[in-house]
């Protein structure tokens, strides 16, 4: 964690609004992108984004945090996982659990919502759009690991800490995710 983060975190924990705003402005875009790729649709992404920041405020100053970004994304991942569990329970009660649910997969009974589109920005737009589509083919666990490592730049070990999985498991998950993405994207390269 940059040295400033620790200082800002300590100040925010004592109620310093400007320190919190600095941390927020530093990481809000990364968290929003993460939420956007993870959640099913923009509404769910917004909810995940907000709830994550509210949890951060709630837990500020309660225990020492070595790496703020990792902590932030751990909260988001746990919230996302909780939401999946709740959804799964609702479906089990309704009697429509699917095999992908049991694997932690992405089928949710309804048609999976596509990751929201953004306007073209630069070269590689086609591949990026195809990647967005292809990410919907991954299980939730694969998608989370992939987004953490390849989009948010976490190391495998850090992603493992966030996901609560050993490094080897994260590597295997990513390997399977990449194989699926390669297959889905082969016509775009």
Partner 1 sequence: MNCREVREEVIGRSQLSPAIRQHIDGCEDCRAFYADVQDIQAACDEPAETPAFLREHTLARCAELLRAKTAPGKAPVWQRWCRALDSPRFVASAAIAGIAILITVTAVQIAGAQDDASAIPLKLTIFQVLAQNIFTALFLPALLLFRGRLTGTATRTMRTGE
Contact set for partner 1, span 100-119 (CB under 8 A): none
Using CB under 8 A as the binding rule, whether residue 120 contacts partner 1 is answered as no
Please identify, using beta-carbon distances, which residue of 65 and 174 lies nearer to partner 1. Answer: 174
User: Taking contact as CB under 8 A, which single stretch among the options 27-35, 64-72, 88-96, 104-112 is the one that binds partner 1?
Assistant: 27-35
**Can you say whether residue 104 is alpha, beta or left, with left for phi > 0 and alpha for psi between -120 and 50 degrees?**
left
Q: What is the DSSP string of 131-143?
A: HHHHHTTS-HHHH
Q: Which pair of structure tokens corresponds to residue 63? A: 């225990």
**Can you say whether residue 47 is alpha, beta or left, with left for phi > 0 and alpha for psi between -120 and 50 degrees?**
alpha
Write the binding mask 77 to 96 for partner 1: x where contact by CB under 8 A, - elsewhere: --------------------
Size, binding site for partner 1 by CB under 8 A: 45
Neighbours of 175 (CB within 10 A): 12
Estimate the crossing angle of helix 167-185 against helix 156-163, to 10 degrees.
100
Using CB under 8 A as the binding rule, whether residue 171 contacts partner 1 is answered as yes
Neighbours of 146 (CB within 10 A): 23
The residue within the footprint of partner 1, chosen from 2, 7, 50, 103 (CB under 8 A), is 50
Residues that bind partner 1 (CB under 8 A): 12-15, 17, 20-21, 24, 28-30, 32-33, 36, 46, 49-50, 53-54, 56-58, 60-61, 121, 124, 127-128, 130-131, 149-151, 155-156, 159, 171-172, 174-175, 178, 181-182, 185, 189
């Amino acid at each position: 964690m940059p040295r400033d983060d620790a200082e800002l975190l300590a100040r925010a924990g004592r109620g310093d609004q400007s320190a919190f705003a600095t941390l927020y402005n530093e990481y809000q875009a990364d968290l929003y992108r993460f939420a956007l790729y993870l959640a099913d649709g923009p509404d769910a992404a917004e909810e995940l984004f907000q709830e994550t920041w509210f949890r951060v405020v709630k837990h500020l100053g309660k225990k020492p945090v070595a790496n703020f970004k990792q902590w932030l994304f751990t909260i988001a991942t746990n919230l996302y996982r909780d939401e999946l569990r709740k959804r799964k329970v609702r479906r089990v009660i309704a009697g429509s659990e699917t095999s992908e649910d049991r694997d932690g997969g992405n089928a949710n009974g309804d048609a999976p919502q596509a990751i929201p589109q953004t306007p073209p920005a630069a070269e590689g737009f086609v591949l990026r759009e195809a990647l967005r589509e292809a990410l919907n083919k991954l299980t939730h666990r694969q998608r989370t690991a992939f987004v953490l490592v390849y989009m948010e730049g976490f190391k495998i070990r850090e992603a493992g800490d966030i996901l609560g999985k050993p490094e080897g498991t994260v590597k295997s998950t990513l390997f399977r995710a990449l194989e699926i993405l390669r297959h889905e994207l082969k016509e775009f390269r």
